Amino acid sequence: MGSTRFPGKPLCDLLGKPMVQWVYEAAVASGAGDRVLVATPDQEIADACKSFGGEAVLTSKDHPTGTDRLAEVAVQHVADVYVNVQGDEPLVRAESIHACAAPLKADASIQMGSVYSECGEEELYDPSVVKVVTDKAGFALYFSRHPIPYPQKPRVAPVKKHVGLYAYRRDALMSFSKWPTGDLEAAESLEQLRFMENGVRIFMSQGAGSELAVDTPEQAEIVREILGRGCPTS
């Protein structure tokens, strides 16, 4: 609720629903797990979730990252796999959430998963759009805000854009806050690199990128227009 650019952002009205409800409903529709929880430090958000039939867990206000917040929830609610869906992504696709979790459910050796989509030409040099390169088995080799791989020769394959969804096994998630911030994480300001620096491989599934995350009231208005043309989570 304390967003500096958009105070009260999670509860902003989007076609008669608070933003957090759109995200919650996409998570439920994904079928990725048997329980959906909203992790929040704000009582107002917890009350809103209750009003639309959702379930919320109150957490500390002091977490430096969303992963740390999820780890607090994991202490209270024990599960084999946790899927992290960002609350400011009302256009997130249910099928992408499913794609994120599916490899961990199918293969017990996979410790962490995430999602990519094709990066558009207009996004290649945008540092807010994170790119990922993978090995032949589908695991991430590196994430960067730069356009990777560097096009020294004409590209032979599309650049992969990282979609900010994560699935973790319990051990990997609970280890995160115990590790210090790594050099790569600090350089790129990407917390998933902390996992990789500590030997956790991240399996990348292809999914669909959401058209827009909401950081400002102006972006919320654009999302209203997109939702008005048809719900992307159905």
Q: Does the pLDDT at position 182 exceed 70?
A: yes
Give dist(CA 191, CA 67) in Å, integer.
8
- pLDDT confidence of residue 231: 54
The secondary element (H helix, E strand) that includes residue 188 is helix 183-188
Residue-wise pLDDT for 10-50, tens only, equals 999 999 999 999 999 999 999 999 999 999 999 999 999 99
Residues facing residue 85 across a β-bridge: none
User: Taking the model in full, what pTM does it have?
Assistant: 0.92
For range 209-219, the mean pLDDT: 84
- Residue 12 phi, psi dihedral angles, 5° rounding: -65, 145
Mean pLDDT of the chain: 93
Q: Does the pLDDT at position 234 exceed 80?
A: no
- Residue 113 phi, psi dihedral angles, 5° rounding: -135, 160
- Residue 141 phi, psi dihedral angles, 5° rounding: -95, -35
Give dist(CA 145, CA 198) in Å, integer.
20
Going along the chain from its start, the domains and CATH numbers come out as 9-228 (3.90.550.10)
For range 53-73, the mean pLDDT: 94
Q: Does the pLDDT at position 232 exceed 60?
A: no
117 three-state secondary structure:
strand
Q: Please check whether residue 113 is in contact with residue 32, taking contact to mean a CB–CB distance below 8 angstroms.
A: no
Residue-wise pLDDT for 80-125, tens only, equals 999 999 999 999 999 999 999 999 999 999 999 999 999 999 999 9
- pLDDT confidence of residue 229: 87
- pLDDT confidence of residue 215: 86
Give dist(CA 173, CA 130) in Å, integer.
21
